[in-house]
Amino acid sequence: MSPLYLGDALQLNVRGMFMGEELVVIVPPKAGEGERKDLHFPKSVCEFPELFDEVLETIRIASEGNMRAKAFEARIKAVVADRGKTIPDFDLSVLRQTFEKLDALRKDGRDTIWSYVARNLSRPLHLSSAERRADVVVGNPPWLAFRYMSKEFQKRFKELAEGERVYVGGKLATQADLSALFFAKSVALYLREGGGIAFVMPLAALTRGQFEKFRTGAFHTKKVQFNDEPWTFDEDVQPLFPVPSCVLFAAAERGLSRPTPKTVTAYKGRLPLRDAHEDVADKYLKVTPHAPAPSEASYEGGSPYRQAFVNGATLYPRMLCLVEKPAAVSRLGSNPDAPLVKRVITR
């Protein structure tokens, strides 16, 4: 059985440095202090789990034994040599600085979690090394719109999404979704050439403008071909996800891309429970292969009032119309599964 890791698949903590790449573990400052003690680990160490774990153990032993920096460096060289490898002088200096920071954290009583965090964050670098990339990647990435991200994460997301050519700005900037970037980066980092990927995505990936570049499959790092029909689950398939969904299939092919197909395998029906077993789902859902793909949204023409609005169906000020969930007064819309709500008008 393969091990499970609580890591960062997007490798947001991996940064470029003068001599390559490194993993940066962000350590928040102590209350009342403004200086962070971020921990840096060179990629040359992170790619090998056993070596990385031994380096962390060496740091712990050296700190508890009040080992001097020069002695620590000699010990790290020996650990690396025992694994049949060598460590560049620059990477060794990075580890020495990390040792000094972890030593200070230990003496300050703040070292109990950082080795654990570093170990988990390092594993994706191992899995993304050329010889470790997978034949098949399957997953359900986070569905998170740009407008709900933190300011710091928005900046990093835009940088990465533009790098993979899946970012759509302009009026659709706030709708940009993390799932598109997650798909592209999973292909780039973890899928071998010719391998396949299948991800559960919001149905908007097939229809909405914020996914327009994503649907081409022409990602920057590694292009994909959307060869197989997507599975679609529209708003009538309940209970499932809060919004309509789909499953997209693609293959990583060298230098070639193919957009999402014009036909889909459409699922319809109501499930007796959300986490229904496949056998149960087969009884309740109707499957229609080769159905027309959902229509893509048009942002031209339409209502003559289109140009008068810049932010969709948003109310200003919001206090004019509030919805509270707990009170059972009425139902929103005609869906019998919609929650009972109490409508409050503030004047």
Residue 7 lies in a domain: no
> Please, are residues 46 and 17 in contact by the beta-carbon 8 Å criterion?
no
| 282 and 328 together in one domain | no
Q: How far apart are CA 95 and CA 142, in angstroms?
A: 33
User: Which tens digits make up the pLDDT trace of 164-221?
Assistant: 999 998 889 999 999 999 999 999 999 999 999 999 999 999 999 999 999 999 999 9
Q: Which of 106, 130, 154 is the last residue of a domain?
A: 130
- Euclidean distance between CA atoms 267 and 284, whole angstroms: 10
Strand 224-225 to 231-233 pairing = unpaired
Assess whether 232 and 331 both reside in one domain. no
Question: Which tokens belong to 69?
Answer: 């920096």
The total of structural domains in the chain comes to 3
Residue span of the structural domain in which 247 resides: 133-292
Residues 150 and 188 grouped into a single domain: yes
Q: Does 154 share its domain with 97? A: no
Q: Is 320 helix (H, G, I), strand (E, B) or coil?
A: helix
Residue 22 to residue 46: CA distance in whole angstroms? 8
Say which range, 4-18, 117-131, 197-211, has the weakest mean pLDDT. 4-18
Q: Which residue has the higher pLDDT, 19 or 12?
A: 12
- At 235-272, the pLDDT tens digits run 989 898 889 999 999 999 878 899 999 999 999 999 99
Digit-coded pLDDT (tens) for 21-49: 899 998 888 777 777 789 999 998 999 99
To the nearest whole number, what is the mean pLDDT of the chain?
87
Mark whether 140 and 263 lie in a shared domain.
yes
Residue 329 pLDDT > 60, yes or no? no
